[in-house]
Structure 1
Amino acid sequence: MSKPLVLPALTRFVSATAGRNMTTVAYVAVMVGVAMMTLLTVEPAYDAAPHWVDALLWACLAYFIFEWLVRLRHMRRQDKLWFYALSSAGVVDAIGALAVPLALLCGIASKTAWLLGVLWVLKVVPGIPGLRQLRRVLVVESGPLLSVLVIFLMVVFLASVAEYFLERDVQPQTFGSVPAALWWAVVTLTTTGYGDVVPITPLGRIVAAMVMISGLGV
Protein backbone atom coordinates (compact mmCIF):
# COMPACT_ATOMS: atom_id res chain seq x y z
CA MET A 1 0.00 0.00 0.00
CA SER A 2 1.41 3.38 -0.99
CA LYS A 3 2.22 6.13 1.49
CA PRO A 4 -0.57 8.50 0.29
CA LEU A 5 -3.13 5.82 1.14
CA VAL A 6 -1.60 4.93 4.50
CA LEU A 7 -1.57 8.45 5.93
CA PRO A 8 -5.29 9.22 5.36
CA ALA A 9 -6.24 5.84 6.83
CA LEU A 10 -4.06 6.50 9.88
CA THR A 11 -5.55 9.97 10.23
CA ARG A 12 -9.09 8.57 10.16
CA PHE A 13 -8.13 5.92 12.71
CA VAL A 14 -6.65 8.51 15.10
CA SER A 15 -9.66 10.77 14.59
CA ALA A 16 -12.08 7.96 15.44
CA THR A 17 -9.99 7.00 18.46
CA ALA A 18 -10.04 10.59 19.74
CA GLY A 19 -13.82 10.44 20.09
CA ARG A 20 -15.35 9.41 23.37
CA ASN A 21 -17.31 6.52 21.85
CA MET A 22 -15.95 2.99 21.64
CA THR A 23 -14.51 1.99 18.29
CA THR A 24 -14.50 -1.49 16.78
CA VAL A 25 -10.80 -1.82 17.54
CA ALA A 26 -11.44 -0.91 21.18
CA TYR A 27 -14.16 -3.56 21.50
CA VAL A 28 -11.83 -6.17 20.00
CA ALA A 29 -9.02 -5.10 22.35
CA VAL A 30 -11.29 -5.45 25.38
CA MET A 31 -12.50 -8.90 24.35
CA VAL A 32 -9.04 -10.19 23.46
CA GLY A 33 -7.45 -8.65 26.55
CA VAL A 34 -9.98 -10.13 28.97
CA ALA A 35 -9.78 -13.50 27.22
CA MET A 36 -5.98 -13.55 27.51
CA MET A 37 -6.16 -12.44 31.13
CA THR A 38 -8.45 -15.39 31.78
CA LEU A 39 -6.11 -17.82 29.99
CA LEU A 40 -3.28 -16.48 32.13
CA THR A 41 -4.96 -18.08 35.15
CA VAL A 42 -5.36 -21.48 33.47
CA GLU A 43 -1.96 -23.12 33.79
CA PRO A 44 -2.28 -25.75 31.00
CA ALA A 45 -3.63 -23.20 28.52
CA TYR A 46 -1.01 -20.59 29.38
CA ASP A 47 1.84 -23.10 29.32
CA ALA A 48 0.76 -24.19 25.83
CA ALA A 49 1.29 -20.72 24.34
CA PRO A 50 2.79 -18.32 26.91
CA HIS A 51 4.42 -16.04 24.34
CA TRP A 52 1.18 -15.54 22.42
CA VAL A 53 -0.78 -14.77 25.58
CA ASP A 54 1.84 -12.28 26.79
CA ALA A 55 2.13 -10.67 23.36
CA LEU A 56 -1.61 -10.18 23.01
CA LEU A 57 -1.89 -8.75 26.53
CA TRP A 58 0.85 -6.24 25.83
CA ALA A 59 -0.71 -5.38 22.46
CA CYS A 60 -4.07 -4.66 24.10
CA LEU A 61 -2.41 -2.58 26.82
CA ALA A 62 -0.44 -0.65 24.19
CA TYR A 63 -3.67 0.16 22.36
CA PHE A 64 -5.39 1.41 25.52
CA ILE A 65 -2.39 3.62 26.33
CA PHE A 66 -2.42 4.93 22.75
CA GLU A 67 -6.17 5.57 22.95
CA TRP A 68 -5.82 7.45 26.24
CA LEU A 69 -2.95 9.62 24.98
CA VAL A 70 -4.79 10.43 21.74
CA ARG A 71 -7.85 11.53 23.69
CA LEU A 72 -5.76 13.61 26.10
CA ARG A 73 -4.10 15.35 23.15
CA HIS A 74 -7.44 15.91 21.42
CA MET A 75 -9.09 17.34 24.54
CA ARG A 76 -6.10 19.57 25.27
CA ARG A 77 -6.43 21.10 21.81
CA GLN A 78 -10.09 21.83 22.57
CA ASP A 79 -9.25 23.26 26.01
CA LYS A 80 -11.23 20.44 27.64
CA LEU A 81 -8.34 18.49 29.07
CA TRP A 82 -9.44 18.62 32.73
CA PHE A 83 -13.08 18.15 31.81
CA TYR A 84 -12.16 14.87 30.14
CA ALA A 85 -9.55 13.80 32.69
CA LEU A 86 -12.00 14.19 35.59
CA SER A 87 -15.00 12.70 33.78
CA SER A 88 -16.04 9.09 34.29
CA ALA A 89 -14.87 8.20 30.77
CA GLY A 90 -11.51 9.87 31.37
CA VAL A 91 -10.99 8.09 34.68
CA VAL A 92 -11.86 4.72 33.12
CA ASP A 93 -9.47 5.37 30.22
CA ALA A 94 -6.70 6.35 32.66
CA ILE A 95 -7.26 3.24 34.76
CA GLY A 96 -7.25 1.04 31.67
CA ALA A 97 -3.95 2.53 30.55
CA LEU A 98 -2.12 2.83 33.87
CA ALA A 99 -3.37 0.15 36.27
CA VAL A 100 -1.30 -2.76 34.94
CA PRO A 101 1.94 -0.77 34.31
CA LEU A 102 1.79 0.80 37.77
CA ALA A 103 1.23 -2.61 39.36
CA LEU A 104 4.24 -4.01 37.50
CA LEU A 105 6.38 -1.01 38.50
CA CYS A 106 5.39 -1.57 42.13
CA GLY A 107 6.88 -5.04 41.95
CA ILE A 108 3.64 -6.99 41.86
CA ALA A 109 3.97 -10.40 40.22
CA SER A 110 3.18 -10.37 36.52
CA LYS A 111 0.26 -12.79 36.69
CA THR A 112 -1.27 -10.82 39.55
CA ALA A 113 -0.74 -7.45 37.87
CA TRP A 114 -2.43 -8.59 34.67
CA LEU A 115 -5.57 -9.42 36.65
CA LEU A 116 -6.17 -5.67 36.70
CA GLY A 117 -6.91 -6.07 33.00
CA VAL A 118 -10.43 -6.98 34.08
CA LEU A 119 -10.93 -3.22 34.54
CA TRP A 120 -10.88 -2.89 30.75
CA VAL A 121 -14.44 -4.22 30.80
CA LEU A 122 -15.51 -0.87 32.29
CA LYS A 123 -14.73 0.80 28.95
CA VAL A 124 -17.73 -0.85 27.28
CA VAL A 125 -20.23 0.24 29.96
CA PRO A 126 -21.11 3.63 28.38
CA GLY A 127 -21.92 1.90 25.10
CA ILE A 128 -24.47 -0.50 26.59
CA PRO A 129 -27.89 0.28 25.05
CA GLY A 130 -30.46 1.53 27.53
CA LEU A 131 -27.92 2.41 30.23
CA ARG A 132 -28.99 6.07 30.34
CA GLN A 133 -32.63 5.06 30.51
CA LEU A 134 -31.83 2.68 33.35
CA ARG A 135 -30.05 5.49 35.19
CA ARG A 136 -33.11 7.74 34.80
CA VAL A 137 -35.36 4.99 36.12
CA LEU A 138 -33.11 4.50 39.13
CA VAL A 139 -33.19 8.23 39.87
CA VAL A 140 -36.99 8.48 39.50
CA GLU A 141 -37.61 5.33 41.54
CA SER A 142 -34.94 6.02 44.15
CA GLY A 143 -37.57 6.36 46.92
CA PRO A 144 -39.15 2.90 46.52
CA LEU A 145 -35.75 1.30 45.93
CA LEU A 146 -34.43 2.86 49.13
CA SER A 147 -37.46 1.54 51.01
CA VAL A 148 -36.78 -1.98 49.72
CA LEU A 149 -33.14 -1.68 50.78
CA VAL A 150 -34.12 -0.52 54.28
CA ILE A 151 -36.59 -3.42 54.64
CA PHE A 152 -33.90 -5.84 53.44
CA LEU A 153 -31.41 -4.56 56.01
CA MET A 154 -33.99 -4.67 58.81
CA VAL A 155 -34.95 -8.27 58.05
CA VAL A 156 -31.30 -9.30 57.83
CA PHE A 157 -30.37 -7.70 61.13
CA LEU A 158 -33.45 -8.90 63.04
CA ALA A 159 -33.00 -12.44 61.72
CA SER A 160 -29.31 -12.49 62.59
CA VAL A 161 -29.96 -11.34 66.16
CA ALA A 162 -32.77 -13.89 66.54
CA GLU A 163 -30.63 -16.75 65.25
CA TYR A 164 -27.74 -15.67 67.47
CA PHE A 165 -30.04 -15.82 70.48
CA LEU A 166 -31.51 -19.20 69.49
CA GLU A 167 -28.45 -20.99 68.14
CA ARG A 168 -25.43 -19.62 70.01
CA ASP A 169 -25.42 -22.34 72.66
CA VAL A 170 -25.92 -25.29 70.32
CA GLN A 171 -23.76 -23.95 67.43
CA PRO A 172 -21.22 -21.58 68.98
CA GLN A 173 -18.83 -21.88 66.05
CA THR A 174 -21.35 -20.84 63.40
CA PHE A 175 -23.76 -18.64 65.38
CA GLY A 176 -21.42 -17.52 68.14
CA SER A 177 -21.69 -13.83 67.26
CA VAL A 178 -24.08 -11.47 65.53
CA PRO A 179 -21.69 -10.92 62.57
CA ALA A 180 -21.49 -14.69 62.05
CA ALA A 181 -25.28 -14.92 62.16
CA LEU A 182 -25.42 -11.92 59.82
CA TRP A 183 -23.56 -13.89 57.16
CA TRP A 184 -26.13 -16.67 57.42
CA ALA A 185 -29.01 -14.17 57.20
CA VAL A 186 -27.63 -12.51 54.06
CA VAL A 187 -27.08 -15.74 52.11
CA THR A 188 -30.47 -17.05 53.22
CA LEU A 189 -32.44 -13.89 52.44
CA THR A 190 -30.83 -13.60 49.02
CA THR A 191 -31.81 -17.27 48.49
CA THR A 192 -28.17 -18.13 47.80
CA GLY A 193 -28.48 -20.81 50.44
CA TYR A 194 -24.99 -22.25 50.61
CA GLY A 195 -26.15 -24.84 53.17
CA ASP A 196 -22.91 -24.72 55.11
CA VAL A 197 -24.66 -23.02 58.06
CA VAL A 198 -28.21 -24.02 59.03
CA PRO A 199 -30.19 -23.63 62.28
CA ILE A 200 -30.94 -26.83 64.16
CA THR A 201 -33.28 -25.66 66.93
CA PRO A 202 -37.04 -25.74 66.21
CA LEU A 203 -37.47 -21.98 66.63
CA GLY A 204 -34.30 -21.37 64.63
CA ARG A 205 -35.71 -23.37 61.74
CA ILE A 206 -38.95 -21.38 61.89
CA VAL A 207 -36.98 -18.13 61.70
CA ALA A 208 -34.98 -19.54 58.80
CA ALA A 209 -38.18 -20.44 56.94
CA MET A 210 -39.55 -16.93 57.48
CA VAL A 211 -36.32 -15.40 56.20
CA MET A 212 -36.38 -17.57 53.08
CA ILE A 213 -39.99 -16.58 52.38
CA SER A 214 -39.06 -12.92 52.85
CA GLY A 215 -36.19 -13.36 50.45
CA LEU A 216 -38.46 -14.76 47.77
CA GLY A 217 -40.79 -11.81 48.30
CA VAL A 218 -38.00 -9.26 48.04
Structure 2
Amino acid sequence: MYHKLKHRVYQILEGGDDSGLIGKCVNVFIIVLILTNVAAIILETEAGIYDVYAGYFQAFEVFSVAVFSIEYLLRVWVCTEYAEYSRPVLGRLRYMTSLMALIDLLAIIPFYLPMFIPVNLRVLRLLRIFRVFRLLKLARYTDAVDTIIRVINERKAELSITLFVGAILLIISSTLVYYAEFEAQPDKFSSIIATMWWSIITLLTVGYGDVYPITPVGRFFGALTAVFGIAMFALPAGLISSGFMEELNRQKAAKTVVICPHCGKNLTHPPEKAGAEAPVIIVKQADERSKR
Protein backbone atom coordinates (compact mmCIF):
# COMPACT_ATOMS: atom_id res chain seq x y z
CA MET A 1 0.00 0.00 0.00
CA TYR A 2 2.83 2.38 0.90
CA HIS A 3 4.73 1.73 -2.33
CA LYS A 4 1.56 1.99 -4.44
CA LEU A 5 0.73 5.35 -2.87
CA LYS A 6 4.26 6.66 -3.42
CA HIS A 7 4.26 5.52 -7.03
CA ARG A 8 0.86 7.14 -7.62
CA VAL A 9 2.06 10.44 -6.14
CA TYR A 10 5.14 10.18 -8.36
CA GLN A 11 2.93 9.72 -11.44
CA ILE A 12 0.75 12.70 -10.49
CA LEU A 13 3.72 15.01 -9.93
CA GLU A 14 5.34 13.95 -13.20
CA GLY A 15 2.13 14.61 -15.12
CA GLY A 16 2.79 12.01 -17.82
CA ASP A 17 0.27 10.03 -19.84
CA ASP A 18 -0.14 7.56 -16.97
CA SER A 19 -0.92 10.29 -14.42
CA GLY A 20 -4.55 10.54 -15.48
CA LEU A 21 -6.84 13.53 -15.14
CA ILE A 22 -5.66 14.26 -11.58
CA GLY A 23 -2.03 14.52 -12.66
CA LYS A 24 -2.84 16.87 -15.54
CA CYS A 25 -4.99 19.06 -13.28
CA VAL A 26 -2.25 19.22 -10.63
CA ASN A 27 0.33 20.24 -13.20
CA VAL A 28 -1.93 22.92 -14.68
CA PHE A 29 -2.66 24.22 -11.18
CA ILE A 30 1.06 24.48 -10.36
CA ILE A 31 1.79 26.27 -13.65
CA VAL A 32 -1.02 28.78 -13.05
CA LEU A 33 0.17 29.29 -9.46
CA ILE A 34 3.73 30.00 -10.65
CA LEU A 35 2.54 32.53 -13.22
CA THR A 36 0.25 34.29 -10.75
CA ASN A 37 3.14 34.45 -8.26
CA VAL A 38 5.28 36.22 -10.84
CA ALA A 39 2.41 38.61 -11.56
CA ALA A 40 2.03 39.27 -7.82
CA ILE A 41 5.76 40.01 -7.46
CA ILE A 42 5.49 42.57 -10.24
CA LEU A 43 2.29 44.17 -8.94
CA GLU A 44 3.67 44.47 -5.40
CA THR A 45 6.21 47.02 -6.62
CA GLU A 46 3.36 49.38 -7.55
CA ALA A 47 2.68 51.27 -4.32
CA GLY A 48 -0.84 52.27 -5.29
CA ILE A 49 -1.85 48.64 -5.79
CA TYR A 50 0.05 47.09 -2.88
CA ASP A 51 -1.21 49.61 -0.30
CA VAL A 52 -4.82 48.80 -1.16
CA TYR A 53 -4.49 45.01 -1.46
CA ALA A 54 -1.60 44.32 0.95
CA GLY A 55 -3.63 41.79 2.94
CA TYR A 56 -4.54 39.84 -0.20
CA PHE A 57 -0.91 39.79 -1.36
CA GLN A 58 0.26 38.45 2.01
CA ALA A 59 -2.47 35.79 2.12
CA PHE A 60 -1.64 34.70 -1.42
CA GLU A 61 2.06 34.49 -0.49
CA VAL A 62 1.29 32.23 2.48
CA PHE A 63 -0.95 30.03 0.32
CA SER A 64 1.67 29.80 -2.44
CA VAL A 65 4.49 28.93 -0.05
CA ALA A 66 2.31 26.25 1.56
CA VAL A 67 1.59 24.65 -1.84
CA PHE A 68 5.21 24.86 -3.00
CA SER A 69 6.43 23.45 0.33
CA ILE A 70 4.09 20.47 0.07
CA GLU A 71 5.18 19.93 -3.53
CA TYR A 72 8.86 20.05 -2.53
CA LEU A 73 8.40 17.56 0.34
CA LEU A 74 6.41 15.20 -1.86
CA ARG A 75 9.09 15.33 -4.56
CA VAL A 76 11.77 14.50 -2.01
CA TRP A 77 9.61 11.62 -0.80
CA VAL A 78 8.93 10.08 -4.23
CA CYS A 79 12.34 10.80 -5.81
CA THR A 80 13.39 7.20 -5.05
CA GLU A 81 11.14 6.16 -7.94
CA TYR A 82 13.90 7.44 -10.23
CA ALA A 83 16.65 4.91 -10.88
CA GLU A 84 19.44 7.38 -10.11
CA TYR A 85 17.86 8.28 -6.74
CA SER A 86 16.67 4.82 -5.75
CA ARG A 87 18.66 4.65 -2.48
CA PRO A 88 16.47 5.86 0.40
CA VAL A 89 18.95 8.21 2.10
CA LEU A 90 21.78 8.91 -0.33
CA GLY A 91 19.35 9.05 -3.22
CA ARG A 92 17.27 11.71 -1.55
CA LEU A 93 20.37 13.70 -0.62
CA ARG A 94 21.52 13.55 -4.24
CA TYR A 95 18.10 14.67 -5.42
CA MET A 96 18.05 17.59 -2.97
CA THR A 97 21.31 18.85 -4.48
CA SER A 98 20.06 18.59 -8.08
CA LEU A 99 19.34 21.76 -10.04
CA MET A 100 15.55 21.52 -10.09
CA ALA A 101 15.37 20.60 -6.41
CA LEU A 102 17.53 23.61 -5.52
CA ILE A 103 15.23 25.84 -7.59
CA ASP A 104 12.24 24.45 -5.69
CA LEU A 105 14.02 25.16 -2.41
CA LEU A 106 14.97 28.71 -3.40
CA ALA A 107 11.32 29.34 -4.24
CA ILE A 108 10.25 28.82 -0.62
CA ILE A 109 13.31 29.37 1.61
CA PRO A 110 13.10 33.21 1.64
CA PHE A 111 9.72 32.91 3.37
CA TYR A 112 11.02 30.72 6.22
CA LEU A 113 14.44 32.26 6.90
CA PRO A 114 13.17 35.38 8.75
CA MET A 115 11.29 33.06 11.13
CA PHE A 116 14.52 31.48 12.35
CA ILE A 117 17.17 34.13 11.64
CA PRO A 118 16.72 37.80 12.59
CA VAL A 119 17.29 39.93 9.47
CA ASN A 120 17.17 43.65 8.81
CA LEU A 121 15.04 45.31 6.17
CA ARG A 122 17.78 45.29 3.52
CA VAL A 123 18.39 41.55 3.88
CA LEU A 124 14.64 40.95 3.87
CA ARG A 125 14.34 42.77 0.55
CA LEU A 126 17.17 40.68 -0.85
CA LEU A 127 15.40 37.51 0.25
CA ARG A 128 12.19 38.66 -1.41
CA ILE A 129 14.07 39.02 -4.69
CA PHE A 130 14.72 35.27 -4.63
CA ARG A 131 10.98 34.71 -5.08
CA VAL A 132 11.51 35.30 -8.78
CA PHE A 133 13.18 31.85 -8.86
CA ARG A 134 9.64 30.47 -8.80
CA LEU A 135 9.50 31.31 -12.48
CA LEU A 136 12.29 28.77 -13.10
CA LYS A 137 10.02 26.05 -11.72
CA LEU A 138 8.26 26.17 -15.11
CA ALA A 139 11.26 24.32 -16.56
CA ARG A 140 9.81 21.12 -15.10
CA TYR A 141 6.42 21.62 -16.73
CA THR A 142 7.30 22.92 -20.21
CA ASP A 143 9.01 21.08 -23.05
CA ALA A 144 10.34 24.37 -24.43
CA VAL A 145 12.66 24.95 -21.48
CA ASP A 146 13.79 21.32 -21.65
CA THR A 147 14.62 21.82 -25.33
CA ILE A 148 16.66 24.94 -24.52
CA ILE A 149 18.64 23.07 -21.86
CA ARG A 150 19.39 20.19 -24.25
CA VAL A 151 20.53 22.58 -26.99
CA ILE A 152 22.84 24.44 -24.60
CA ASN A 153 24.28 21.14 -23.31
CA GLU A 154 24.94 19.94 -26.85
CA ARG A 155 26.60 23.22 -27.81
CA LYS A 156 28.39 23.88 -24.53
CA ALA A 157 31.85 23.17 -26.00
CA GLU A 158 31.37 25.66 -28.84
CA LEU A 159 29.77 28.22 -26.53
CA SER A 160 32.64 27.86 -24.06
CA ILE A 161 35.12 28.64 -26.83
CA THR A 162 33.04 31.67 -27.81
CA LEU A 163 33.02 32.94 -24.23
CA PHE A 164 36.77 32.39 -23.96
CA VAL A 165 37.42 34.35 -27.16
CA GLY A 166 35.07 37.07 -25.91
CA ALA A 167 37.00 37.32 -22.65
CA ILE A 168 40.27 37.70 -24.58
CA LEU A 169 38.78 40.44 -26.76
CA LEU A 170 37.44 42.18 -23.66
CA ILE A 171 40.88 42.29 -22.04
CA ILE A 172 42.69 43.35 -25.22
CA SER A 173 40.24 46.12 -26.12
CA SER A 174 40.13 47.42 -22.54
CA THR A 175 43.92 47.56 -22.36
CA LEU A 176 44.39 49.29 -25.73
CA VAL A 177 41.66 51.88 -25.17
CA TYR A 178 42.85 52.57 -21.63
CA TYR A 179 46.35 53.52 -22.79
CA ALA A 180 44.89 55.53 -25.70
CA GLU A 181 42.37 57.48 -23.59
CA PHE A 182 43.82 57.72 -20.09
CA GLU A 183 45.53 61.05 -20.57
CA ALA A 184 42.58 62.59 -22.43
CA GLN A 185 39.84 61.27 -20.09
CA PRO A 186 41.37 60.19 -16.77
CA ASP A 187 37.97 60.40 -15.04
CA LYS A 188 36.27 57.92 -17.42
CA PHE A 189 39.19 55.64 -18.32
CA SER A 190 40.88 55.65 -14.93
CA SER A 191 42.00 52.00 -15.08
CA ILE A 192 41.74 48.92 -17.23
CA ILE A 193 39.01 47.61 -14.92
CA ALA A 194 37.02 50.83 -15.35
CA THR A 195 37.55 50.66 -19.13
CA MET A 196 36.03 47.18 -19.18
CA TRP A 197 32.60 48.80 -18.74
CA TRP A 198 33.04 50.56 -22.07
CA SER A 199 34.41 47.37 -23.68
CA ILE A 200 31.50 45.25 -22.49
CA ILE A 201 28.78 47.56 -23.78
CA THR A 202 30.66 48.00 -27.06
CA LEU A 203 31.28 44.28 -27.61
CA LEU A 204 27.62 43.59 -26.86
CA THR A 205 26.63 46.31 -29.38
CA VAL A 206 24.65 48.20 -26.71
CA GLY A 207 26.65 51.44 -26.68
CA TYR A 208 25.05 53.54 -23.94
CA GLY A 209 27.15 56.56 -24.94
CA ASP A 210 28.05 57.62 -21.40
CA VAL A 211 31.68 56.59 -21.96
CA TYR A 212 33.36 56.75 -25.37
CA PRO A 213 36.84 57.42 -26.78
CA ILE A 214 37.67 60.88 -28.15
CA THR A 215 41.27 60.48 -29.35
CA PRO A 216 41.97 59.26 -32.92
CA VAL A 217 43.78 56.16 -31.68
CA GLY A 218 41.05 55.44 -29.14
CA ARG A 219 38.33 55.80 -31.79
CA PHE A 220 40.24 53.43 -34.09
CA PHE A 221 40.42 50.79 -31.37
CA GLY A 222 36.79 51.50 -30.52
CA ALA A 223 35.72 50.87 -34.12
CA LEU A 224 37.59 47.57 -34.18
CA THR A 225 35.96 46.57 -30.89
CA ALA A 226 32.50 47.34 -32.30
CA VAL A 227 33.16 45.28 -35.44
CA PHE A 228 34.42 42.31 -33.41
CA GLY A 229 31.42 42.74 -31.12
CA ILE A 230 29.02 42.14 -34.02
CA ALA A 231 30.92 38.97 -34.90
CA MET A 232 30.91 37.83 -31.27
CA PHE A 233 27.15 38.40 -31.07
CA ALA A 234 26.43 36.52 -34.31
CA LEU A 235 28.58 33.47 -33.49
CA PRO A 236 26.72 32.15 -30.40
CA ALA A 237 23.38 33.10 -31.96
CA GLY A 238 24.21 30.96 -34.99
CA LEU A 239 25.35 28.07 -32.81
CA ILE A 240 22.18 28.10 -30.74
CA SER A 241 19.84 28.52 -33.73
CA SER A 242 21.47 25.60 -35.57
CA GLY A 243 21.24 23.54 -32.40
CA PHE A 244 17.53 24.36 -32.17
CA MET A 245 16.94 23.23 -35.75
CA GLU A 246 18.77 19.94 -35.14
CA GLU A 247 16.86 19.32 -31.91
CA LEU A 248 13.47 20.09 -33.47
CA ASN A 249 14.23 17.83 -36.44
CA ARG A 250 15.33 15.09 -34.05
CA GLN A 251 12.11 15.41 -32.05
CA LYS A 252 10.05 15.37 -35.23
CA ALA A 253 11.84 12.26 -36.50
CA ALA A 254 11.39 10.52 -33.13
CA LYS A 255 7.63 11.08 -33.32
CA THR A 256 7.22 9.74 -36.85
CA VAL A 257 6.28 6.16 -37.65
CA VAL A 258 7.08 4.92 -41.15
CA ILE A 259 4.89 2.02 -42.33
CA CYS A 260 5.66 -0.13 -45.36
CA PRO A 261 2.64 -0.13 -47.74
CA HIS A 262 3.25 -3.75 -48.79
CA CYS A 263 3.79 -5.66 -45.56
CA GLY A 264 2.59 -3.13 -42.99
CA LYS A 265 5.89 -3.39 -41.13
CA ASN A 266 7.11 -0.53 -38.96
CA LEU A 267 10.18 0.85 -40.74
CA THR A 268 11.07 3.33 -38.00
CA HIS A 269 14.55 2.73 -36.61
CA PRO A 270 14.53 2.15 -33.75
CA PRO A 271 10.73 1.60 -33.67
CA GLU A 272 10.48 1.85 -29.88
CA LYS A 273 11.44 5.55 -30.00
CA ALA A 274 8.32 6.50 -31.88
CA GLY A 275 5.47 7.78 -29.73
CA ALA A 276 2.10 6.10 -29.48
CA GLU A 277 0.39 9.09 -31.06
CA ALA A 278 3.07 9.67 -33.68
CA PRO A 279 2.02 10.52 -37.22
CA VAL A 280 2.13 7.59 -39.61
CA ILE A 281 3.88 7.95 -42.95
CA ILE A 282 3.17 5.26 -45.53
CA VAL A 283 6.01 4.85 -47.99
CA LYS A 284 4.63 4.74 -51.52
CA GLN A 285 6.71 3.41 -54.37
CA ALA A 286 5.34 3.54 -57.87
CA ASP A 287 5.28 0.14 -59.59
CA GLU A 288 5.96 0.90 -63.23
CA ARG A 289 5.46 -2.72 -64.29
CA SER A 290 1.92 -2.80 -62.91
CA LYS A 291 1.06 0.36 -64.89
CA ARG A 292 2.11 -1.33 -68.13
Pairwise TM-score range, normalised by the shorter structure: 0.7 to 0.9
CA 1:16–1:42: 2 relative to 1, 3 Å:
farther
Amino acid at match of 1:96: A
What is the aligned partner in structure 1 of residue 104 from structure 2?
A: 93
Structure with greater contact order relative to length (CA < 8 Å, sep ≥ 6): 1
Work out whether residues 64 and 93 of structure 1, in 8 Å CA contact, stay in contact via their aligned partners in 2. yes
Amino acid aligned to 1:209? A
What is the root-mean-square deviation of aligned Cα atoms in Å?
A: 2.6
What SS does the corresponding residue of 2:187 show, helix, strand or coil?
Answer: helix
The equivalent position to 1:28 in structure 2, one of 12, 29, 32, is 32
Q: Distance in 2 between matches of 1:17 and 1:31?
A: 23
Partner of 1:6: none
Measure, in 1, the Cα distance between the counterparts of 2:73 and 2:11. Answer: 10
User: Could you state the TM-score of these two structures normalised by the residue count of structure 1?
Assistant: 0.81
Q: Deviations over 1:82-126 (max 9, x none)?
A: 343232222222222323211454333355533221111121123
Would you say 1:67 and 2:71 are equivalent positions? yes
Q: Which amino acid aligns with 1:37?
A: I
- Unpaired stretches in structure 2, ≥5 consecutive residues: 16-25, 233-292
Q: Which moved more, 1:119-128 or 1:141-150?
A: 141-150
**1:136 positional shift:** 4.0
Counterpart for residue 141 of structure 1: 155
CA-to-partner distance for each residue in 1:20-78, whole Å, 9 max, x for gaps? 45811211221122221222222111112111111111111111111112223334697
The farther-off stretch of 99-108 and 202-211 is 99-108
Distance 1:137 1:35, change over 3 A: closer
Show CA shifts across 1:134-162 (max 9, x none).
44443443343233222211221111111
Structure 1, unaligned runs of 5 or more: 1-10
Percent identity of equivalent pairs: 24
Q: Which residue does 1:7 correspond to in 2?
A: none
Larger radius of gyration: 2
Which position in structure 1 is the counterpart of 2:49?
A: 45
Compared with structure 1, are the counterparts of its residues 172 and 205 closer, same or farther at alpha carbon in structure 2 (3 Å cutoff)? same
Q: Does 1:15 align with 2:9?
A: yes
- Do the aligned partners of 2:69 and 2:108 also contact (CA within 8 Å) in 1? yes
SS at match of 2:143: coil
Check conservation: 1:18, 1:70, Cα contact below 8 A: no
| One-letter amino acid of the counterpart of residue 30, structure 1 | I
Whether 1:199 and 2:194 are equivalent positions in the alignment is no
Determine if contact 1:100/1:116 at 8 Å carries over to the other structure.
no
Instruction: Return the alpha-carbon distance in structure 2 between the equivalents of residues 68 and 85 of structure 1.
Output: 10
Spell out, residue by residue over 1:176-208, the C-alpha distance to the aligned partner (whole angstroms, 9 max, x if none): 100011111011110111111011111111211
Matched residue of 2:65: which SS? helix
Distance 1:42 1:164, change over 3 A: same
